[in-house]
Structure 1
Amino acid sequence: MLQLLLRLSPTTQLCKGEFRIEALKTFHGYWGYLSIVANAVAGVAALLAWRIERLRGRTVWALTIAAEVAILIQVLLGVILVASNKYEAPRFHMFYGFVIFITVGLLFQYRASMRGRLEMLYGFGGLFVMGLGIRAVLQVMK
């Protein structure tokens, strides 16, 4: 089953390190799509909560936190892959990962100054992170 997931034939011989990197690379690819969708859902939910007061509550913030944690895990996986020296990502792919990391930090930093419009901040921020994630995926597909 794992070989199917990793797109490896049964006869492929990989040492443990290479197998782990291939597994991590595959997981990084799938987790990226999940992170993009999670940020899209969280962004739309936050914008709806900003406009429709009865939608505000813990659910919006749980979605937002889950989406941001997912994208930060994605960035961490990318850093681990590049640090292994067995995988070289396109430069702009790494750039978009860095911008995503900075964006999540800036969203957290500006939350105190946006008290009345916190849902708007995280709504547009989530959609922005989604867009950056899509751009990062497109860099790998070239």
Structure 2
Amino acid sequence: MVLLNAAAGIWSLQAHRNKMFRVSTLSWLTAIAQIMVLAHLFSGVALASSENIEVPKFHLLYWSAAALSVGVIYGYRNQLENRRYLLYGFAGLFLMGLGIRSMILGPI
């Protein structure tokens, strides 16, 4: 999840500067990276609830922020049509940072 969002973020920022990078593969990579965030969240919730694991509050904070961010990114994509690649670029790097921070907190 972290590597996909990093790749999508860097690629999107390059696509903003250079039209040569604006290919359909970028859209697919961005979509897969954002879906991975939600899949990671739902699998973590399912595991924690099935095993009766007490989840640290910071994990809840970071993953709920990541899920809300994906929704905000999806919601603003049409309003920022001329800056869509900047939105996806910085959002990918932001989601990457949330994932790294969550890993630093340690396992559940």
Counterpart-to-counterpart distance in 2, 1:108 and 1:88? 31
CA distance in 2, matches of 1:96, 1:81: 17
Tell me the number of residue pairs that the alignment of Structure 1 and Structure 2 aligns: 108
Question: How do 1:82-97 residues align onto structure 2 when only pairs under 5 Å count?
Answer: 82-97=48-63
> Taking structure 2 as the reference length, what is the TM-score of the superposition?
0.93
CA–CA distance in structure 1, aligned partners of residues 2 and 53 of structure 2: 22
User: 1:86: Cα distance to partner?
Assistant: 2.2
SS at match of 2:54: coil
Q: Is the 8 A contact 1:100 1:132 kept in 2?
A: yes
Partner SS state of residue 67, structure 2: helix
Equivalent position of 1:43 in the other structure: 9
Partner residue, 1:74: 40
The answer on whether the counterparts of 1:42 and 1:64 sit within 8 Å (CA) in structure 2 is: yes
Higher relative contact order (CA 8 A, sep 6+): 2
Q: Please, which runs of 5 or more residues in structure 1 have no aligned partner?
A: 1-34
2: CA distance between counterparts of 1:39 and 1:88? 28
Aligned mates of 1:140, 1:109 — CA distance in 2 = 31
Report the Cα distance in structure 2 between the residues aligned to 1:107 and 1:128, rounded to whole angstroms.
11
1:44-59 mapped onto 2 (5 Å cutoff): 44-59=10-25
Q: Please report how far the alpha carbon of residue 93 of structure 1 lies from its aligned counterpart in structure 2 after TM superposition.
A: 1.0
1:140 aligns with 2:102: no
1:60 pairs with 2:3? no
| Residue 85 (structure 1) shift | 4.8
State the alpha-carbon separation in 2 of the partners of residues 38 and 92 from structure 1. Answer: 23
TM-score normalised to structure 1 length: 0.72
CA RMSD of aligned residues (A): 1.4
Q: Deviations over 1:55-107 (max 9, x none)?
A: 10201101101111111100111111222252222110111000000000000
Higher-Rg structure is: 1
Aligned to 2:72: 106
Kindly indicate whether residue 89 of structure 2 is the aligned counterpart of residue 126 of structure 1.
no
Secondary structure of the structure 1 residue equivalent to 2:42: helix
